[in-house]
Each structure stands twice: as structure tokens, then as C-alpha cells.
Amino acid sequence: MNTTTTGHITGIIANLAIIKVQGPVAQNEVCYVQHEGAPLMAEVIKVRSGYAYAQVFESTRGLKTGTPVEFAGSMLEATLGPGILSRNYDGLMHDLNTMEGIFLKRSDYTHALDLERRWGFTPLAKPGTLVQAGDWLGEVRENAIPHRIMVPFSLSGTYTLRRVEPAGEYKVEDTIAVLTDAAGRQVEVSMKQKWPVKQAIRTYIEKPRPYKLLETGIRTIDTLNPIVEGGTGFIPGPFGSGKTVLQQAISRQADADVVVVAACGERANEVVELFSEFPQLEDPWHPGRKLMERTVIIANTSNMPVAAREASVYTAMTIAEYYRSMGLKVLLLADSTSRWAQALREMSNRMEELPGPDAFPMDLSAIISNFYSRAGIVKLRNGHSGSITFIGTVSPAGGNLKEPVTESTRKAARCFYALSQQRADSKRYPAIDPIDSYSKYLEYPELQATLAEAILPGWVDLVNRLKNILLRGKEAAEQINILGDDGVTVDYHLQFWRSEVVDAVILQQDAFDAVDARTPLARQKYMAELVWDICQMCFAFESFEEVAPYFKRIINQMKQMNYSVFESEAFTQFEAGLQDILAERKTN
């Protein structure tokens, strides 16, 4: 790349600028359109016979032909260093809090890190050691998290560590170490580095298969279709089915060191909810710490520039990879990946590219799977491991799952949490369809082994038995619908109501109730076993009409248990009440 390349605008269609270029230009190179003295950031997305096609990350209002353009000589980069956590960024990693005024002004590009703040640095590596990109040189405390200062990812090959600064207070741009390469050339290293967001950070030695549950406290996920550390999942569902509520619950409750939330083309008020609540809410895994301490938010809401939507998910992924390289357990959430795909579609249509299905770009599937493949658990050179668990939502047009974004994502993600309109309509939240949804990880012997150890030997069997109850309940409901209540035997009603117990007690969970919202694993195990016991019981019924009222009492009692603090007096009382009800009709 060449830093002296310039150009001028020759065409504008919405946020696509066509630029006549003088000098060399790279695909995905960043450039600045000099509009009335204000540089507007843009990214080259196509080059053809002397013209660069660039997506402008700002409103193009007022741009004229002839407007000068300067090329930056670099691709779209994330700025990495201590001080990312607790911050709110736009899609290009500008700090939203340090921008001026109520409204977003064009070209108000704020710095991602606080350059003045001093961090307490402790060296980790000894001079004389051979190091490579990603190796840990030192450490600072970022909130309560050990933030490793690493050899810059952009350095290739092996270097000798000449000098590390002693423990002390440093700013992010201060030199904290000096390296030399094989030829003896010196490289100064600070706590700040840059990385092009569309490239994966690959400083690990291997990517094993995930094997460990990532606890979310959401029963229908943890118990029935668990997500794992380093796993991938997606949540498709029509509007209003509960994608955002579910994702936000995961962001609050999951057992992660760092949570990166990419609000991609969705509502601003939903991000405001995070901004305003996370600084107050307790981190359930670290009493005394606030959720915001482990969280970073990348917000490109639906009214922010469309072109930056794509950038926002890549920026988020790059930040996640940065923390993963420190040996941390990172959770990355994106709501909604469909908006990113739509942004790609808008741009591809403007460039009059040959459209694929539903006018999305032809390579949509490859783009999505490439992105999901950046998640995963990794083994670092120093023996530590880190992980990125990625869960994205998908917003299918018309709620129809046979559309390109859902279908492409299904190929890339290993957990599928399908939200059903019908469940949402009948307020059975979270509306994850227990029968269509799956977690491929349940089939992994590695995970089965750790679950058996962490929860109960044979846990996966129990889970499959519960799933079977749900399936048989659905079949029974269909039969009853076709033949009528009295057209089937009482057994069918029993079969149906057993599945209703599983549904009401395990699947349904009130995200807005202080107690019910989060169910720790031990409690999930307790309730799953209790539900299974009930599913195995035989009851005496004279007629089908007795079944529903009886089971409603059972369900009501168990719901009261769910609303009570585990093993509290109230909980125990409701459980005793449940046993009384069961004793009334139990025959085995």
C-alpha cells in the first residue's frame, strides 16, 4: 500500500462513492472523502479500471463530483489495548461517550483508547527469551481482568526480547518492551496495537473441539441444548419472538470473562438498556463486580450508517480474538446478523453485481461461514487456552426460515435455537422450539464426559429422555386434535400433560423475574430429575376430564418453586405441597 494515493469523487449513489484514483489502491483500503474540510471515512470494496468503489461510513449528503479523497494506506483496523472493556463504541470503534453533542456528527472520530490514562504494568517475560506474535510480555489489571500485553500480532517470525520495562505505571503508547529480529533490527512495543478487522488473529497453535459447557442459566439451553466454551450458535425468529431478550439474558448470565456485544442494525433503545443497566447489575459470577466491567458494546444501531454495519461485527470479532489471545473465556453476541447481510445486499445491488437468492450477494454463505469459523477454543503457545463462544441472531424475512441468511447460518453454526411464533404468541418464553432446535455438541463424547462429571453420570441420557417426552407429547396433542378428547385413551392425555410439565417447568422461564431468570446448573439438575420422576409416575384417572385439572395443579406448584429461591423455606414448602398432590393419585 502507498500512503500518497489520492483521488476525487466522480459518482455518488446513496452511500456508494465512485472515486477516480491516482496511484495504487488496495481492496478494503480505508480512504477519507474530504467534504468541506471534514474527512468522511470510507472503505474500498471494488476497484475497476482506475476507479475505486467505496462505501462511505457516513451520510453522503452534499458530496459533489470532484471532492478530493485521500487513501490511508491501511485497511479497516481495530485499535487494541487496555481500556476497551466497559466502553461503548460505534461500528468503527470510535468511543461514543467522548463524542460531542446529542447528535452524531459526521467525522467526529474519537479515539478507541484513553491515551492519557496510566496502567499498572507488570512484566511477565524475561529478557533473552525468544518470542512470537501473541506471546505475553506483561500484564495490566483492566477492571478485575488480567489484561496481557502481547507481542504485536502483525509481527511475523521469531524475535528476541531485549528489554522489558520494570513494573510501573505506563500509558498505552509508552514503550514497554524492545524486541530484535534475526537481523538485529529493533522493534519497540507499546501496549497498543492495530489489527485489520476482516482478518482473523491466528496466534494460537491449535483449535481443539469444544468440550466444556458454557453455563447460561437458561434452562432450555443448558439442560436441553447446551452451548459450549468456544461453540457457535444462532437464534433465528420472527420479530417479537424474543431474540433480543434471550441474547441479553445470555449476556448478563453467561459464565464468561469478557462479553462483547455487537448491536448490529437493531434498535437504539435496546442498547440504551445495556448502557444504563449493566453498570448497576452485579456480575453473577464475580460478586462485587458490575456487569459492565466485563462487557464491551459495539453499537451500530439501525439509524447509524449502513456501511458501518458490516464493520461492526468484524470489529467485535477482532476485539473478542484479542481477549481470547490473553487466555480468556470470551462470549461474543451479535444482534442481528441479518442486518449485516442486508447491508451487504444494499451495497451489492448498488454496484449492480449479479444477485444471488433474494438479491443477496452470491458469496453470502462463504462470508457467514468464514465469520463463524473465527470463533472457537484455542490452545496458546504458552499452554493456556482461551475461547470465543459466538451466538448470533437471525431475523428471517416474514419469519420464513427458508431464506438465504438462515440457511447459510445453519451450515456454519452448531447450535440452533429456533424461536417459534406460536410459542411467543402464547407467552411461552423463551420461545425456543424444543423439537426443532438442536445442539450438535450434545453428540460430542468430550462434552458428554465433562457433563457427566460436572452434573451427573448419565446426564445426557436424562436429557434425551426429557426430549423424548416432549416429542411424544406433541404427537399426543396432534392425535387429540384429530380425534377429540374422548376419541383417544386417557393415556394420550397423560402423555400430553407430561410434556406440559417439562414445558412449563423446564422450558418456560421468566426473563424478568429476579429468581426465575437465572437457574444455576445444580438447580437445573434438581428440577430435571424431579420432572423426570413425575414423568415416570403412574396415576389413577377415571376419565380424561380429570387429567388436565390435576396436572395444572402440579404445574402451578412447580412454577411456584421456580419463582422461589432454591432450597429456601418457600421452595421446600411448595415442594412438600407438590408431593401431597402427587400422593393423591399416584399408583406406583
Partner 1 sequence: MEILAFQRVYTKIEQLTKATCTLRAQGVGYEELAMVHGRLAQVVKIMGDEVTLQVFSGTEGIPTNAEVVFYGKPPTLNVSDALAGRFFNAFGQPIDGGPEVQGEEREIGGPSVNPVRRKQPSELITTGIAGIDLNNTLVTGQKIPFFADPDQPYNQVMAMVALRAKADKIILGGMGLSNDDYLFYKHVFENAGALHRIVSFVNTTENPPVERLLVPDMALTAAEYFAVDKNEKVLVLLSDMTLYADALSIVSNRMDQIPSKDSMPGSLYSDLAKIYEKAVQFEAGGSITIIAVTTLSSGDITHAVPDNTGYITEGQLFLRRDTDIGKVIVDPFRSLSRLKQLVIGKKTRADHPQVMNAAIRLYADAANARTKLENGFDLTDYDERALRFAREYSDRLLAIDVNLHVEDMLDTAWELFGKYFSKAEVGIKQELVEKHWKEMPRKLPQLSL
Ligand X SMILES: Nc1ncnc2c1ncn2[C@@H]1O[C@H](COP(=O)(O)OP(=O)(O)O)[C@@H](O)[C@H]1O
The footprint of Mg ion (CB under 5 A) covers 243-244
The string of DSSP codes covering 42-97 is EEEEEEETTEEEEEESS--TT--TT-EEEEEEEE-EEEESTT-TT-EEETT--BST
CB-wise, 188 or 425, nearer to partner 1?
425
Which single residue is written with the C-alpha cell 504494568?
A: 121
Residue type (1 letter), 116: E
Tell which one of 23, 50, 458, 484 touches partner 1 (CB under 8 A). 484
- Beta carbon nearer to ligand X, 339 or 493: 339
Which three cell numbers, joined as nine digits, stand for 48? 475497476
> What's the CA gap between 111 and 79, in Å, rounded?
9
Among 49, 102, 280, 402, binds partner 1 (CB under 8 A): 102
- Residue 242 binding target from partner 1, ligand X, Mg ion, none, CB below 5 to 8 Å by type: ligand X
8 A C-beta contact, residue 507 and residue 436: no
Candidates 192-200, 288-296, 321-329, 339-347; binding stretch for partner 1 (CB under 8 A): 339-347
Q: Which of 210, 226, 237, 404 binds ligand X (CB under 6 A)?
A: 237
In the bound state with ligand X, the residue whose beta carbon lies nearer, of 346 and 510, is 510
Closer residue to partner 1, CB minimum distance, 465 or 585 = 585
- Give the nearer residue to ligand X in terms of CB position, either 111 or 239: 239
Helix (H), strand (E), coil (C) string for 323-389:
HHCCCCEEEEEEECHHHHHHHHHHHHHHCCCCECHHHCECCHHHHHHHHHCCCEEEECCCCCEEEEE
Cell of 294: 466485563
Beta-bridge mates of residue 355? 361
The helix or strand, by DSSP H or E, that contains position 7, with its residue range, turns out to be strand 6-13
Cα 401 to Cα 390: distance, rounded to the nearest angstrom: 20
Residue 6 CA, chain-centre distance (Å), reads 38
Length of the chain in residues, anyone?
588
Among the listed ranges 196-204, 210-218, 373-381, 483-491, the one in contact with partner 1 (CB under 8 A) is 483-491
Min separation Cβ 97 and partner 1, Å: 5
Q: Which among 45, 52, 33 has a CA at the least distance from the CA of 107?
A: 33
Helix or strand holding residue 583 (H, E): helix 569-585
User: What does the DSSP 8-state code read for residue 526?
Assistant: H
CB of 132 to partner 1, least distance (A): 38
Rounded-to-integer distance, Cα 379 and Cα 387, Å: 9
Size of the site for ligand X (CB under 6 A): 13
Question: Which residue in 367, 407, 485, 537 binds partner 1 (CB under 8 A)?
Answer: 485
Sole window of 75-83, 217-225, 433-441, 552-560 interacting with partner 1 (rule: CB under 8 A) = 552-560
Closest separation between CB of residue 55 and partner 1, Å? 13
Kindly state the cell numbers that stand for 44.
474500498
Site string for ligand X, 405-444 (x = CB under 6 A): ------------------------xx--------------
Nearer to ligand X by Cβ, of 247 and 408: the residue is: 247
- CA–CA separation, 537 vs 532, rounded Å? 9
By CB under 8 A, residue 94 contacts partner 1: no
Rounded to whole angstroms, how far apart are CA atoms 455 and 532?
Answer: 15
Q: Return the range that interacts with ligand X (CB under 6 A); candidates 131-139, 156-164, 504-512, 536-544.
A: 504-512
User: CA 214 to CA 454: how far, in whole Å?
Assistant: 12
Contacts to partner 1 from residues 269-288, by CB under 8 A:
269, 271-273, 275-277
CB of 515 to ligand X, least distance (A): 13
Residue of 71, 72, 91, 106 that binds partner 1 (CB under 8 A): 106
Out of ligand X, Mg ion, partner 1, none, what residue 188 binds, judged by CB under 5 to 8 A for its kind, is: none
The residue number with the shortest CB distance to Mg ion is 244
Interacting residue with partner 1 among 70, 114, 346, 363 (CB under 8 A): 346
Contact 79, 194 (CB under 8 A): yes
- Only segment of 137-145, 220-228, 281-289, 425-433 that touches partner 1 (CB under 8 A): 425-433
H/E run at residue 481: helix 459-483
Shortest Å, Cβ 446 to ligand X: 30
Structural contact between residues 562 and 574, judged by C-beta atoms closer than 8 angstroms: no
In the complex, which residues of this chain contact ligand X (CB under 6 A)?
237, 239-245, 429-430, 510-512
